[in-house]
Amino acid sequence: MGAIQYAASQLITLDPEFKKKLAGIDSVTQWKVEPKGPNSYTIVKNQKIESKMDAVHNKPTYTLIIKDLDTALNLFQAKIDANKAIGSAIKVIGDAAKAQKEMFILEALGKYLGDLRG
Amino acid sequence: MSVKEILQAKVLLFIMGKGLEEISATNEEFKEEFEDYDATIQWTIADTVKMYMKVEGGKFTAFMDAAAEEPTVSFAVEDYAKAKEILTGAVDGTSAYMSGDLKMVGDMQAGMKMGQVTNFLTDTLKELMGS
C-alpha cells in the first residue's frame, strides 16, 4: 500500500490533469485490509496527497475496509472496478458518497500501474 | 520516458528501497547474511528517476528521488523496459550487467553484494505474492 500511496503523491507532479481533478478535495481516507492489515491513511488536501503507513486516523472522512490482501492488490492494479466493489469487496464506513466520488484516484493509478507486474 | 514509465520506474525503486528497509529490519536470515554490508548504493533509471540506499551493518535506509553525494556503487539502466525487467526480477541482474543493460560504477564487491540482496528480496516478494 505504501507504493500505491507514494505513486499517488508522485502522479500529482507528473500529470497536471490528475492534479486538476484533486482541486477542492479535502478528505482523510482510512484504509483497512482485513483480516490483519496493513492499515494506513491518506490525506488529500490543497491538491497534495500525504500518507501514513501502519496508522489509524482519529477522524477519517471515510474508512475503506477491503476484504483481503489479494483484493487490495487487484484494486490498486485496476483489476477490480473500485466503484462496483463498494458494498461487496469494499465496505465503506463514513461519507460513502465522497468515497465513491474520490475513487477516480484509484482508477487513475490503475491506469498507470495496472501492468506493473506484467 | 512517458508519464507511465516514469511513475512505474519510481514505484519499482520505491518497492526495492522500502522492501529492503523492511526486510533488513525484520528478517533474521537476511540480517545474518548481510550483517557486514556497509555501502551507499545509487540507482538511476534513464537519467531521470533516482533513489539511493544507505546500508549500515546490513540495515537499509532508502532515500527516494535523491542522489547520493558519494555512492560506493552506482547502478544505471538507460532503457525503461530493461529497468522494469531487472527490477521485477524477470531478468537476472548479473545477466543484465553482462549484456550491458545494467551499468555498474564504483566498488565491484559492494555491487556484487547488492545482487545477492536483490535476489533475496525478489525471492521473498515472489513468496509473498504467491508467484
Distance from CA of B107 to the nearest CA of A (A): 29
- For residue B1, what pLDDT is reported? 82
Q: Is A15 on the interface with B (CB under 8 A)?
A: yes
Among the ranges given (A34-38, A64-68, A99-103, B25-29), the one the predictor scored with the smallest mean pLDDT: A34-38
Can you name the residues that pair with B52 across neighbouring β-strands? Answer: B42, B63
Q: Phi, psi (5° rounding) for residue A109?
A: -65, -40
Q: Is A6 on the interface with B (CB under 8 A)?
A: yes
Burial status of residue B61 (CB atoms within 10 A of its CB: 0-12, 13-18, 19 or more): middle
pLDDT in tens, B53-99: 999 999 999 999 999 999 999 999 999 999 999 988 888 888 999 99
- For residue B64, what pLDDT is reported? 96
Q: Which residues of B touch A40 (CB under 8 A)?
A: none
- Please determine, for residue B131, whether its predicted confidence score (pLDDT) is greater than 60: no
- Residues B45 and B50: their CA atoms lie apart, in Å, by 7
Among the ranges given (A38-47, A82-91, B16-25, B36-45), the one the predictor scored with the smallest mean pLDDT: A82-91
Domains and CATH numbers, chain A: 2-113 (3.30.1050.10)
All cell numbers assigned to B46: 534513464
Query: What predicted TM-score, i.e. pTM, was given to this entire model?
Result: 0.87
| Mean pLDDT within A99-112 | 89
CA R_g for chain B: 14
pLDDT in tens, A67-91: 998 888 888 777 888 888 888 889 9
Contact of A40 with A31, CB cutoff 8 Å:
yes
- Give, rounded to a whole angstrom, the gap between the first and last alpha carbons of chain A: 18
- For residue B130, what pLDDT is reported? 61
Q: Phi, psi (5° rounding) for residue A44?
A: -110, 120
Domains and CATH numbers, chain B: 3-116 (3.30.1050.10)
Q: Is A54 on the interface with B (CB under 8 A)?
A: no
Contact of B86 with B93, CB cutoff 8 Å:
yes
- For residue B129, what pLDDT is reported? 65
Chains A and B: how many Cβ contacts under 8 Å? Answer: 40
pLDDT in tens, A34-62: 988 889 999 999 999 999 988 999 999 99
Distance from CA of B111 to the nearest CA of A (A): 25
- Please determine, for residue A118, whether its predicted confidence score (pLDDT) is greater than 60: no
- For residue B79, what pLDDT is reported? 92
- For residue B62, what pLDDT is reported? 97
Residue A6 is nearest to which of B4, B11, B84, comparing CB atoms?
Answer: B11
Would the CB atoms of A14 and B14 count as touching at under 8 Å? Answer: no
Would the CB atoms of B7 and A113 count as touching at under 8 Å? Answer: yes
Contact of A87 with A64, CB cutoff 8 Å:
no
**% of chain A beyond a pLDDT of 70:** 98
Contact of A90 with A102, CB cutoff 8 Å:
no
Cα separation values, A7 from A50, B64, B127, Å? 11, 12, 23
Cell 554490508, residue located? B37
Would the CB atoms of B7 and A118 count as touching at under 8 Å? Answer: no
- Residues A105 and B105: their CA atoms lie apart, in Å, by 39
Q: Which residues of B touch A6 (CB under 8 A)?
A: 10-11, 14, 64
| Mean pLDDT within B93-110 | 94
- Compare all CA atoms of chain B with the CA of A108 and give the residue at the minimum distance: B4
Q: Which residues of A touch B12 (CB under 8 A)?
A: 116
Q: Which residues of B touch A10 (CB under 8 A)?
A: 7, 10-11
Q: Is A55 on the interface with B (CB under 8 A)?
A: no
